[in-house]
Amino acid sequence: MKSLALFLLLPPIVLAQGGGCKIGELCTVRGVLKIFQTPPAATAVLQGEGTCIPLALSEDVLADYKRWTNKSVTVVGLAHAHGVADNVISYQLEGRPVTGSVCRSSPIALFVTELKPE
C-alpha cells in the first residue's frame, strides 16, 4: 500500500525517459501537448517537468490544433525509437509527421492511438 500511496503523490506526468516506455509496446503518458504549425509539416510533442516526447498525431488532431495545443492530456501510443540526425527537421512515422528538431534527447517517439483531455 505504501508504494501505491507514493505513486499517487507523484506529479501528474509519467514520461518515458529512463526506460518507462519500451520500444514496440503501448505506453501511456501525461503532460502538456504542444502542436507546432511549422513547415514542412505540423508536428507535436508532449512536455512536462523537463521531459519531452515527440508524437505522431493523426491529421484530424493536427488540423484542430487550437483545441489541443497547450492542454494537459493523456496519450496512449506505440513507442518507436527516436534517433535523428541534427539536420532532420521532421520525419514520417507510419505516415504521420514527427518532429526531429524538438525533443532530440528523447529515446522514443509515440505513434498516438488515443488522446484524452485531462
Share of the chain above pLDDT 90, in %: 64
pTM score, two decimals?
0.82
Domain 12-117 fold is OB fold (Dihydrolipoamide Acetyltransferase, E2P) (2.40.50)
User: Could you tell me which residues come within 8 angstroms of residue 11 by beta carbon, excluding any fewer than 6 positions away?
Assistant: 48, 49
CA–CA distance from 21 to each of 15, 16, 37 (Å)? 8, 5, 27
* Cα dihedral 84, 52, 76, 70 in deg (nearest 10): -120
51-56/96-99 β-pairing: unpaired
Q: Where are the domains of the chain?
A: 12-117
Query: Are 79 and 42 in contact, with CB atoms under 8 Å apart?
Result: no
pLDDT in tens, 71-118: 999 999 999 999 888 888 899 999 999 999 889 889 999 999 999 999
